Structures are given as C-alpha cells and as structure tokens.
Amino acid sequence: MMKNMNEQLFQAINRYAGQWDWIDDCMEWFAQDIVWVLLAIMAILWFSGKPNHQRLTFYACLSAAITLFVAAYFISPAVNHPRPFVGHEVNQLIPHAADPSFPSDHSILAFSLAFSVFFVLRNLGTVMLALAVLTGLARVYVGVHYPADIAGAIVLSFLVSLAVFLLRERLEPLPRLTIGLYGRIVKAIPGLPKK
C-alpha cells in the first residue's frame, strides 16, 4: 500500500514535467543548483570571521557529512530502491545514473544544512528549509526521485542534525581546533585582512 501511495504521489507531481518550458527550467535549477546556494550561505557564515557562525558552519557540515555517510554506506545499499525511471515511463528532465534512489543525497545535503542552521538562527534556517523543500520537490518533479526518497532524507537529516546539536558541548574541541587552524592560516597569508 505504501509503495502504491509513493508511486501515485510521484505520478501526481511528475506528470506536469515537460508541459511548460519555464517551469521545467526552474525545477531543473531547483533540483540541481539550490544546494550551491545553501553551501554559499555556509561559506558566508564561515568567512564572516564570527566564532559563533564558524562553529555553526562546522556543525552543519559535520551533520551533512555524517548523514551522507550513513545513507551511502548503510541505508542506500540495504534498501536498494530503484529510481523512478528504472522500469517505469516517467518525464525525466535531467540525466542521472541508475543507482539506488533512497534516500536522496541532494535532499540530505540541503536539509542537513538547513536543520542545523534552524536550530541556532531561526530566520535564516527557515529560509534554508524552504530552499531545501524546493530541492526535494524538484527532484521528484524532474523524475529522479520518489517522494519517499525525499521523506527519508528529511527524517535522517533531522535526526542526525538534532543529535549533533544536542551533543555540541561534547564535540566543542573539534570546531575549536578547526577555527584555530583557520585563524593561523589566515594570519600566515600576507595581504589577507586580519580579524
């Protein structure tokens, strides 16, 4: 029953792909490039030079790395769920390898960063979560993921990001070391502004 619901919801979203060029172009961009916007936001936070923002960036990237690792080496091989375009007629707008689809890596990256920021900076985190939702929706629209792939990514990203957030005091030596090393590198490079 869940499989049928997953496929029906996929069809309800994907059936609109290929009908309007401008919507397709937007969705293709959302599906592939919003993650670069989110990464740019993290870079801005890091290069602000504010220790709290750098600490937040470290934890967000740590959350994303852990979640992607768990998904790639444990969950995805165990579930081994085929992508929608494998064995079905779909409106596929972007090329993709026929590797397992559950959970969505793009959505994991987007939601891990967004949840991590949301726990600390609510306004910015809300904007990032909206961008993450667009990423997930677009991945379904362009025909490379089922809705369950996105839902799985959201749940996994939330749980790992929350765990990292709750354990941040115990993990504190890691960002402190990273921020310290960055500070030393900046001081050693001539011509860079010193904080």
**Domains parsed from the chain with CATH numbers:** 33-187 (1.20.144.10)
Helices (H), 48-104: 51-70, 76-79
Q: Would the pTM of this model clear 0.85, i.e. be above it?
A: yes
Could you give the percent of the chain with pLDDT greater than 70?
Answer: 96
> Which residues have a Cβ under 8 Å from the Cβ of 59 and sit 6 or more positions away?
116, 164, 165, 168, 171, 175
Burial track 21-33 (b if 16+ CB lie within 10 A, e otherwise): eeebeebbebbbe
- pLDDT tier at 147, thresholds 50, 70, 90: very high
Task: State residue 88 phi and psi, 5-degree precision.
Answer: -135, 155
- pLDDT tier at 1, thresholds 50, 70, 90: low
The amino acid occupying position 28 is E
pLDDT tens for residues 9-24?
A: 999 999 999 899 999 9
What was the pLDDT predicted at 185?
Answer: 82
pLDDT > 70? residue 195:
no
pLDDT tens for residues 60-113?
A: 999 999 999 999 999 999 999 999 998 788 999 998 988 999 999 999 999 999
What was the pLDDT predicted at 76?
Answer: 94
What was the pLDDT predicted at 152?
Answer: 97
With residue 1 as reference, give the H or E element that holds it: none
